Amino acid sequence: MNFLFMLLPFLFTIGTPNPSGYDQYPVYTGPDLGLHYTPAASTFRIWSPPATTAQLLLYHSCNDSTAYKTIDMQKGPSGTWYIRLDGDQRGAWYNFRVNIDGHWNHAVPDPYAKAVGTNGQKALVFDPKSTDPAGWTKDKHPARHRPTDAIIYELHIRDASIDPSSGIKYKGRFLGLTEEDTHSPEGLSTGLSHLKEMGVTHIHLLPFFDYSSINESRPDSPQYNWGYDPLNYNAPEGSYSTDAGDGIKRIKELKQMIAAFHRNGLGVIMDVVYNHTSLTEASAFNQLVPGYYYRHTSDGRYSNATACGNETASQRPMMRKFMLESVLYWAKEYHIDGFRFDLMGVHDITTMNEIADALRQVNPGILLYGEGWTAGDSPLPDSLRALKKNVSRLHDIAVFGDELRDGIKGSVFDIHDKGFASGKIDAAESIKFGIAAACPHPQIAYDKVNYSKAPYAWSPDEVIAYCECHDNNTLWDKLALSYPNASEDTRKQMHMLALTIVLTSQGIPFLHAGTEFLRTKKGVENSYNSPDSINAIDWHRKHQYQDVVRYTKSLIHLRKTHPAFRMYTGAQIAEHLRFDQQTPAGVIAYTLNGAAMQDSWEKIWIAFNGSETAQQLQLPAGTWYTGLAMDGATGTHTDSIRLPAHNAVILYKASNNTGSIRSTSSRPR
């Protein structure tokens, strides 16, 4: 996320923040914050050290503004407040309020609420067992991979199905992604079946925790948001369910969607946004423990490293505990296969490492990555935060490699800037930096790399290789904006070259949904609240650009078939990846030592021509077979090869000279 949200006006004021006072608050280490339900009794515990009184409020409906019962809570240990209600309380809606210095704060659901009603205004007493769809106990994570075996596909739940061309019944809902064998009007697969067809391994879903911006009481009115505006961290978003007022249904339908992905061999990555809250003064955090969960500037204002009006304070014990318990809950209860941390550079390294260690106890194959940057300055020193440059101090949490992203297509901050794929020949060193997954490599001139002037990773599983995500213009739009004179055919070449670079680079490749059919957001750069007409995936394009779809599938299949593209140590990259020394300007060529990686291809030679003209390139000695060419050509080459402008080719030598047979092995089934 690197955009500015419209900031809500501050509705409430709460006393002056007191950062040194927060350190005096007792820390509660128990596991029972929030609701604990059994048919015999429900217990509730919240943490609020400054409160002098705390109350539980019960409501008949999630839309009621008046409680039918208000119950004083008992003071518990370490700043907590506690109440036990005997009997089966299932179906009751509840909130809490605390009195601080004689003033009642607003009633809010607790931050730990796991089932909520319309617009997340009330929490629900529920039996967790009642949220499991049929067969949930048999739901399994897809087979574990090394992180570099993953191929991530980033998708917004609504975008996937909302367009009529999806042929999906439950448009814009969790259930839309449970439907199989759905088709576009042209008869091509859409939705879940399309994802399976592409061959990617993990679906990264934009936020699906309960976010604030969509009015869930008007599900059929035109509304849109990416969802980077957290309201209830531990409950699913209501606008993706078929009934936002039913606290159980949103949980059950989300689990149905996850089970459908798992049945089809796809892992699910959850996009989490612990770096800020959508509301500031009115947030549940601030209503229960004013100020504590946030960082402040020296003059007492909310610090704003997120550009969203506040930033959370992960370094404080109870915020750290909150984040840790929240991700563990999602991993265990929803069988999540990975997490993507929004603006991870806001969080401290200690917290991120505790999270990584605890998650791997639950699921050793879990995939973790995040944005190793912030959207503004933070009062917490850089050296303590989970920034890109500190990635080697994180416990196997990858960061997005923006060197490759902008090296390929040009800076996201300057629409006119071109990249290597669109003819900017001096971007070559940034591409090489990305090919080597930000790991040390003796042949890279680091002073010529766009952003980082030194390698920051020690292993390729620390870096996400990408050229496009939900932020900024799509790759297709960026090529058009930065190169308005290029023909559509030329831009298509550039686009395919860009995808080739991403899917052959070391590291963990990451694709933005629809890039395989040249997704457009019609030139809208920050589409976080743009209508469906901008954001929806237009499945007609799958037919229109089926050559690009076919080629992207070939690239994915190539990567999955050949371990040389998936090295897993920095030493392997330094040793088994060799750049050609004598290449024309605008050309990058390199050889992978396949034999050293147990690849069926003994050597693999990859060449990218980012320049405006065709180039005759010298081949390393021997006979080379075509593994994959953008124009679909096959055949053998010796001495040299002609590579057209904005083009890529992958050649190989087979270990036993059976190349002509194996030349079909990189075709998808």
Nearer to Ca ion, 239 or 591 (CB): 239
371 in active site: yes
**Could you tell me which of 202, 210, 327 has the C-alpha nearest to residue 268?**
202
- Chain positions 524 to 543 lying near Ca ion, rule: CB under 5 A, are none
Nearer to Ca ion, 119 or 473 (CB): 119
Q: How far is the CB of 219 from Ca ion (least distance, A)?
A: 11
Q: Out of 163, 342, 477, 580, which one is annotated catalytic?
A: 342
Backbone angles phi, psi at 80, to 5 degrees: -95, 160
Place of tokens 């005759």: 616
Q: What is the DSSP string of 232-287?
A: EEEEE-GGGSS-TT-HHHHHHHHHHHHHHHHHTT-EEEEEE-TT--S-STTSHHHH
Residue number with the shortest CB distance to Ca ion? 210
Instruction: Write the Ramachandran bin of 593: left for phi over 0, alpha for psi from -120 to 50, otherwise beta.
Output: beta
**Could you tell me which of 569, 608, 577, 580 has the C-alpha nearest to residue 594?**
577
Distance CA 541, CA 519 (A): 8
Return the SS3 of 515. helix
Q: What is the DSSP string of 296-341?
A: B-TTSSBP-TTSSS--B-TTSHHHHHHHHHHHHHHHHHS---EEEE
Nearer to Ca ion, 109 or 238 (CB): 238
Cβ atoms 400, 466 nearer than 8 A: yes
Amino acid symbol at 328:
L
Q: How far is the CB of 173 from Ca ion (least distance, A)?
A: 14
Q: How far is the CB of 230 from Ca ion (least distance, A)?
A: 9
Nearer to Ca ion, 73 or 113 (CB): 113
Residue 491 host element (H or E): helix 488-504
- Chain positions 19 to 48 lying near Ca ion, rule: CB under 5 A, are none
Cβ atoms 226, 156 nearer than 8 A: yes
Q: How far is the CB of 232 from Ca ion (least distance, A)?
A: 8
Nearer to Ca ion, 121 or 611 (CB): 121
- Chain positions 586 to 645 lying near Ca ion, rule: CB under 5 A, are none
Q: How far is the CB of 211 from Ca ion (least distance, A)?
A: 5
Side-chain half-sphere of 359: how many Cα atoms within 13 Å? 28
Cβ atoms 202, 147 nearer than 8 A: no
Using the rule CB under 5 A, is 229 a contact of Ca ion? no
Nearer to Ca ion, 230 or 267 (CB): 230
Cβ atoms 408, 419 nearer than 8 A: yes
Q: How far is the CB of 119 from Ca ion (least distance, A)?
A: 6
- Chain positions 152 to 211 lying near Ca ion, rule: CB under 5 A, are 210
Q: How far is the CB of 212 from Ca ion (least distance, A)?
A: 6
Nearer to Ca ion, 237 or 461 (CB): 237
516 in active site: no
Q: Out of 149, 253, 281, 371, which one is annotated catalytic?
A: 371
Q: Give the total of residues touching Ca ion (CB under 5 A).
A: 3
Distance CA 495, CA 492 (A): 5
Which residues of the shown chain bind Ca ion in the complex (CB under 5 A)?
210, 237-238
Residues marked active site are found at: 342, 371
